[in-house]
Amino acid sequence: MTHTFDTTVLREYDIRGIIGETLGADDARAIGRGFGTLLRRDLGEGAPAPMVAVGYDGRVSSPMLEHALVEGLTASGCNVRRIGMGPTPMLYYAEASAEDVQGGIQITGSHNPANYNGFKMVFRGRPFFGADIAKLGELGAAGDWLDGTGSVETVDIMEEYVERLLAALAGVDTAALETLKVGWDAGNGAAGPALELLAKRLPGEHHLLFTEVDGNFPNHHPDPTVEANLADLRALVAEKNLDFGVAFDGDGDRIGAIDGEGRIIWGDQLLMIYAEDLLGRLPNATIIADVKASRALFDHVEKHGGKPLMWKTGHSLIKSKMKEVSSPLAGEMSGHVFFADDYYGFDDALYAGVRLIAAAARLGKSVTQLRGEMPAMLNTPELRFQVDESRKFAAIGEIADRIAASDAVADTTDGVRVTTDDGWWLLRASNTQDVLVARAESDTDDGLERLLRQIDEQLSLSGLERGESVSH
């Protein structure tokens, strides 16, 4: 038996497709067969049957995919621990915290529209991406799967997971937090039930929005990096006079936040708060941020005695780099934040929410005050525009070569990030879509205009133009 995946489904960081068009039960079964086969081969002949934790988000199609995935895993000789519906970080926790678990798979469409779904995977404690995912396609096409008969057990770990989240407040004077007032928006995503349990246990007053899981997302799309999706949270913070608000994406691994005045705290700005708190306890630590992050973040890390490291965008790439350089903290503009000081190094928005409470308490400042002290940088949002798949990496290569031949200061960690007297601009190819991503930041409006003109000039030289920005 063989299986051929749609060409659009096996992506760089995860597997994602449109239900009924590019992704269905047969694909889920083949993913289980392939993942189980790779795990058994990696453990070696004669090793006991590996245990794989499986969870799923609140999308309508998730139970169907979960059923087929479990069939595929057990047919390849893996045992399965089903943890049911919950946020992706709960699945990561199930994999990281149990010695008898060798792999984990979460069925989730993340922040994509309701008709999408997909899979995020962990393989023996490391991210499963890139060549790993491509291998699933090769195994399916060849029908190169091991056979076996695995067992299935169902375990409810949500209470245990929430208990672990609360450990982020260890050493914090929780009595001082009794007057704290926080708003939370689960966006009808998979984090809702865990958030309800968590809020009951947190000190202070907590107001919750849209915790009922609904895969149709009736209130707003669950992507906290889009300002329009924070409107309900902003209204709640204003109406109830709350200290700050926290929002989650559809599967709870990305955080968004606003302060008490309704100002957005972007991913790199949150990392500034977390870094300042952490560096007070772990001086000289390496803090990683992706190439889209503000210069203000890298300056802030240096100012507080840390070593800033700019790295490639992509949660799997960031996690891998953290392990390589023993970094205790990393983050992305997209709201993925990774804590490895007192946690497991994976991206967990619920944990990040608790750590925001803890950081403000330890620093002795409100979240609003911390946000207000940040330099007022002028920057564009993430500008994304359509480019033919066959041209996107080639165009970035051409731009990098031209920049290298000039006297410009450039970083080519991921795309091209050019620093000038006006600030910086970035052009990079998306690993998950046929788009180029641009961003620019300056101290002045005129400077920002000049940076954008430089982007346009480089695109024009490669026969491209920015055109209209496209959504994720």
Q: Which pLDDT tens digit goes with each residue over 2-26?
A: 999 999 999 888 899 999 999 999 9
Homologous superfamily (CATH) of 15-156 is: Alpha-D-Glucose-1,6-Bisphosphate, subunit A, domain 3 (3.40.120.10)
The pLDDT of residue 432 is above 90: no
Active site residue 76: no
Mean pLDDT of 317-322: 93
Mean pLDDT of the chain: 95
The pLDDT of residue 317 is above 70: yes
Fold match, 15-156 / 378-461: no
- Name the pTM for this structure: 0.95
Q: Any idea which residue has 């046929």 for tokens?
A: 434
When the candidates are 3.90.1150.10, 3.40.120.10, 1.10.150.120, 2.60.40.1220, the CATH number that belongs to 161-372 is: 3.40.120.10
How far apart are alpha carbons 189 and 263 in whole angstroms?
23
Mean pLDDT of 36-53: 96
- pLDDT of amino acid 468: 57
pLDDT over 90, % of the chain = 89
- pLDDT of amino acid 431: 80
pLDDT digits (tens, 9 = 90+) for 98-145: 999 999 999 999 888 889 999 999 999 999 999 999 999 999 999 999
Taken in order 73, 77, 83, 87, the sign of the CA dihedral is negative
pLDDT digits (tens, 9 = 90+) for 291-315: 999 999 999 999 999 999 999 998 8
Least confident span in 66-75, 227-236, 400-409: 400-409
- CATH number for the domain running over 378-461: 3.30.310.50
The pLDDT of residue 469 is above 70: no
pLDDT digits (tens, 9 = 90+) for 233-263: 999 999 999 999 999 999 999 999 999 999 9
Domain positions in the chain are: 15-156, 161-372, 378-461
- Point out the catalytic residue in the list 76, 110, 430, 462: 110
- What are the distances in angstroms from CA 64 to CA 122, 203, 372? 21, 38, 47
84 CB neighbour count, 10 Å cutoff: 16
How far apart are alpha carbons 393 and 102 in whole angstroms?
35
The pLDDT of residue 382 is above 70: yes
- pLDDT of amino acid 472: 46
